[in-house]
Amino acid sequence: MNLQHLIARLPYSKPFLFVDSLLEINENYVEGSYTFKENEYFYKGHFKNHPITPGVILVECCAQIGLVALGIFLLQKEGASLENVKIAMSSSQMDFYLPVYPLEFVTVKSEKIYFRFQKLKCEVKMYNSQGKLVCKGSLTGMLKKDIS
């Protein structure tokens, strides 16, 4: 699958798309990146005069790359039509180690723990441009093939 085509299949658009590129994907692993733009909507009020990316946005970036992109890839490998895929995160557990500031480039690496009955669980890690661990944890989501 063309990786840019896979990004186009994600159910997000600006300003809520946190995937610039997918670097690698297979049945067990996905790696992608994103640069947090200086004018992201959430920086306006998240710490006056010292904007920091909210943790919930870091989790969302990890989920879009590490759970949703991988899930769509796996569904396609099963032969599913991707026209009406529904996706919902069912659980997350994340630990945070470093802040992410505007204009920071991050890389998300995700390893599949399991994918069965359309439930996907992954271990995700986010790194900054210096290769330092920003956050890590596990994400679980449900993917539904809509047959309507």
Give residue-wise pLDDT tens across range 61-119: 999 999 999 999 998 887 766 666 778 888 999 999 999 999 999 999 999 999 998 89
User: Rounded to two decimals, what is the model's pTM?
Assistant: 0.92
In this prediction, residues 14-28 reach a mean pLDDT of 95
Beta bridge partners of residue 107, listed in sequence order: 33, 127
Report the range of poorest mean pLDDT among 12-16, 26-30, 52-56, 81-85: 81-85
1 pLDDT band, cuts 50/70/90, is: low
DSSP the chain: --HHHHHHHSS--TTS---SEEEEEETTEEEEEEE--TT-GGGTTSSTTS----HHHHHHHHHIIIIIIHHHHHHHHTT---TTEEEEEEEEEEEE-S---TT-EEEEEEEEEEEETTEEEEEEEEEETTS-EEEEEEEEEEEEE---
Q: Is 5 a catalytic residue?
A: no
Say which of 37, 46, 121, 125 is annotated catalytic.
46
- Quick one: what percent of the chain has pLDDT higher than 70? 92
> What does the pLDDT read at residue 46?
82
State the CATH architecture for 3-145: Roll (3.10)
Name, in order, each residue with C-beta under 8 angstroms of 120's C-beta and a sequence gap of 6 or more: 67, 70, 71, 74, 112, 114, 140, 141, 142, 143
Peptide bond into 54 cis (omega under 30): no
The Cα–Cα gap between 143 and 140 comes to 10
Query: Token pair of 8, please?
Result: 């186009």
Q: Is pLDDT above 90 for 2? A: no
Of 41-55, 80-94, 106-120, 131-145, least confident by mean pLDDT is 80-94
36-45, 46-55, 98-107 — most confident range? 98-107
